[in-house]
Structure 1
Amino acid sequence: MANHSFFSIVAINVLLLSFIVAGVESIGVCYGMNGNNLPPPNEVIGLYKSYNIGGIRLYAPNEDAFQALRGSNIEVIIDVGIDIGSLASDPSVAFTWVQSNIQPFSQDVNFRYIAVGNELIPGPEAQNIIPAMQNMRNALQSIGLQDKIKVSTSVSTIVLGNSYPPSAGAFSSDAMATLQPIIGFLAGTGAPLLANVHPYFSYIGNLNTVSLDYALFTSPGPVVSDGQLQYQNLFDATVDAIYAALEKVGGNNVAVVVSESGWPSDGGVAATMENAQTYVSNLIRHVGQGTPKRPGNIDAFIFSMFDENMKEPQGTENHFGLFNPDKQPKYPLSF
């Protein structure tokens, strides 16, 4: 891809302003490391600090990142980054993981959520998630952090068997066998469900029925009417479909944290720099409003900090980054 570091210092300041105006508690950025040209973790965390990005998702523990996060108060989602089967079958694996990755940093790193598995439901590993989550929470309880750090799992919207209209949102039969006990666990421990919400993929999978404006937050008026609620963008409709699905299975008090949402700038249909800039800037502006069903603040994490040139298969997923490897913004974000 072309190097877009020619954007002026104005663009950099606009990006900085975007994160500040959105409110640092509501917007974070996912930090994937699947690239061979990325800055070292301490410099990346420095970038988070300099742009006042209030949250980070790490897909595996990284000691250099943890050290750099000390004292920053940046909210952290940390994926376990190890085999879920071993976590499920052996409680000592969870204890060792917590003692190695959480306990040494827990005084001055703001761990919020531990993600036990990313998009594993439905699938062959799904059955291991709930015992792994229980073991992880017991390990946190052993050091007194079970209330401060919540244990969850991250799902994709494939867990929805129905999402239209949003009030009809329901989990698929394939997902339900796994999700029912997980939702009970989340409700009982006060943890949110982590959900990767990608209107881009919903759009390209339904080009005949979903408009680009609806996916990019740029529709001039409501597109979907659902009882008293009006939907002007696909992001809100998807999040509210997840809420509706949760309510149908006893998860009324389970919040949704959007653990990934972004738009690619290359590598696929409608994957352009302009569309990526439009989606991300609108998402940043939008998260403080909440959804029609759940007004208020949405905790959301933009995917992702950098393009990751080693992700397989090669294609769209290599081009979701906000920043170039030289730490310059890939495109300006403005209101």
Structure 2
Amino acid sequence: MAIHNHITVFAIVLALGVLVTMPRGGQSIGVCYGRLGDNLPQPSEVVALYQSKNIPAMRLYDPYPPVLEALSGSNIELVLDVPKENLESFAYDASAANDWVQSNIISYFSNIKFKYIVVGNEVIPGDLAQYVLPAMQNIHNALTSAGLQDHIKVSTSVSTAVLGTSYPPSAGLFSSAVMSNLGPIIQFLTSNGSPLLVNVYPYFSYISNKDSIDINYALFTSSGTVVTDGSLNYQNLFDAIVDAIYSALEKAGGSRVGIVISESGWPSADGDAASVDNARTYNQNLINHVAQGTPKRPGAIEAFIFAIFNENQKSPEYEKHFGLFNPDQTPVYPINF
């Protein structure tokens, strides 16, 4: 999760990152497993917690072997990140990318349900952006060599910083600064049937624009339409942000590219509007909402909530409080998956 300093009018379309997955036959929500804490449970206990709470999918930010071993045979769908430290070498060295796929995907493929490989998290825009597409191509080629290209899709995860315009949603447009990198990535996603992963945090939009955004619009608790955009009516900020990304994709030649919400959430303490009640309200309403989709794109959305635990090694303070559970596995607040 990045801290967004780019709060302008387009921040009205920012949303909190949650990765939620929709298994066949019903709606459910996945949860990100961040490990920036020195007091977190063992991976085997974490996998058991996911199972006991009927959480069907996990996003993992690096291929940590104890977690992969704990996931084996669990039936939990996995979204696995390629850490940013690997991007440059994987972009230039196809054999390094292939070795990574062999060690972390092929070795576990018969026992783990891999869904997406995420090549870089919020590195566009930035110094690493140039490496994302060639690294994605080399990872994809390694999967193709193993015959897995139809089973595991390759993408990258971006924040709403990629938007230059986000309001109203129909005016959504990627900033010119990101298009040299993001444009070819969108072509790659289109040709391979892969979605774009987006971290969507209405929380950040709200706290930076409290004069113009009502908290009910951010928490899914508005009683009626807040924003009218042509024939579409918006009752919550999450939908407005996601549809702004869809509009931007269409303008960039990516009308066939879907969106997966790779993070979303709300802090429960130590921040502006950060409370147990607001966090519970946002995340429960998100879980209840994703089955219906957005005004522009009705139908279930895949999404992941950030995060499973409060992580005491994150900063600033409020970033330590995005967890659904405390490190001792007690719930921060009740939530129903």
Q: Same fold (TM over 0.5)?
A: yes
Query: Compared with structure 1, are the counterparts of its residues 292 and 282 closer, same or farther at alpha carbon in structure 2 (3 Å cutoff)?
Result: same
**How far apart in 2 are the matches of 1:102 and 1:40?**
21
Structure 2 residue corresponding to 1:69, chosen from 71, 74, 78: 71
Please give the root-mean-square deviation of Cα atoms over the aligned residues, in Å.
Answer: 1.8
**How far apart in 2 are the matches of 1:37 and 1:108?**
28
Contact 1:31 1:57 in 2 (8 A): yes
Letter of the 1:309 counterpart? N
1:101 aligned onto 2:104: yes
The structural deviation recorded for 1:22 is 12
The structural deviation recorded for 1:71 is 2.4
Query: Compared with structure 1, are the counterparts of its residues 21 and 152 closer, same or farther at alpha carbon in structure 2 (3 Å cutoff)?
Result: closer
Q: Look up the match of 1:15.
A: none
The structural deviation recorded for 1:328 is 1.3
Letter of the 2:133 counterpart? I
Contact 2:22 2:301 in 1 (8 A): no
Q: Look up the match of 1:46.
A: 48
Q: Look up the match of 1:326.
A: 328
1:89 aligned onto 2:92: yes
1:135 aligned onto 2:165: no
**How far apart in 1 are the matches of 2:193 and 2:299?**
18
Q: Which moved more, 1:25-34 or 1:192-201?
A: 25-34
1:219-264 per-position Cα deviation (integer Å, ceiling 9, x unaligned): 1101000111100000000001000100111111100000000000
Letter of the 1:79 counterpart? D
1:182-236 per-position Cα deviation (integer Å, ceiling 9, x unaligned): 0000000000000000000111111111110000000110100011110000000
Q: Look up the match of 1:152.
A: 155
Structure 1 residue corresponding to 2:226, chosen from 211, 215, 223: 223
Query: Compared with structure 1, are the counterparts of its residues 108 and 25 closer, same or farther at alpha carbon in structure 2 (3 Å cutoff)?
Result: farther
Letter of the 1:230 counterpart? N
Q: Look up the match of 2:58.
A: 56
SS in 2 for 1:277: helix
Structure 2 residue corresponding to 1:270, chosen from 264, 268, 273: 273
Contact 1:87 1:135 in 2 (8 A): yes
Relative to the length of structure 2, the TM-score reads 0.91
Relative to the length of structure 1, the TM-score reads 0.91
Letter of the 2:100 counterpart? W
Letter of the 1:301 counterpart? F
Query: Compared with structure 1, are the counterparts of its residues 184 and 57 closer, same or farther at alpha carbon in structure 2 (3 Å cutoff)?
Result: same
Q: Look up the match of 1:300.
A: 303
Q: Look up the match of 2:31.
A: 29
**How far apart in 2 are the matches of 1:280 and 1:245?**
26
Q: Which moved more, 1:57-66 or 1:232-241?
A: 57-66
Letter of the 2:57 counterpart? G
Structure 1 residue corresponding to 2:316, chosen from 304, 314, 320: 314
Contact 1:25 1:55 in 2 (8 A): no
Aligned-pair identity (%):
61
Contact 2:22 2:28 in 1 (8 A): no
Contact 1:24 1:54 in 2 (8 A): no
SS in 1 for 2:107: helix
Residue ranges of structure 2 left out of the alignment (5+ in a row): 1-20
1:114 aligned onto 2:114: no
Structure 1 residue corresponding to 2:198, chosen from 195, 199, 216: 195
Letter of the 2:76 counterpart? I
Contact 2:27 2:291 in 1 (8 A): no
1:109-164 per-position Cα deviation (integer Å, ceiling 9, x unaligned): 11010000000011111011000000010111111111110000000001011111
Contact 1:23 1:288 in 2 (8 A): no
Q: Which moved more, 1:265-274 or 1:75-84?
A: 75-84
**How far apart in 2 are the matches of 1:33 and 1:141?**
30
Q: Look up the match of 1:12.
A: none
Q: Look up the match of 2:3.
A: none
SS in 2 for 1:83: helix
1:244 aligned onto 2:260: no
**How far apart in 1 are the matches of 2:101 and 2:26?**
27
SS in 2 for 1:225: strand
Letter of the 2:169 counterpart? P
Between Structure 1 and Structure 2, how many residues are aligned? Answer: 316
Q: Look up the match of 1:4.
A: none
Query: Compared with structure 1, are the counterparts of its residues 151 and 303 closer, same or farther at alpha carbon in structure 2 (3 Å cutoff)?
Result: same
**How far apart in 2 are the matches of 1:20 and 1:89?**
35
Contact 1:22 1:284 in 2 (8 A): no
Q: Look up the match of 1:174.
A: 177
**How far apart in 2 are the matches of 1:165 and 1:39?**
43
The structural deviation recorded for 1:83 is 2.3
The structural deviation recorded for 1:314 is 2.7
1:82-104 per-position Cα deviation (integer Å, ceiling 9, x unaligned): 42111111111100100110011
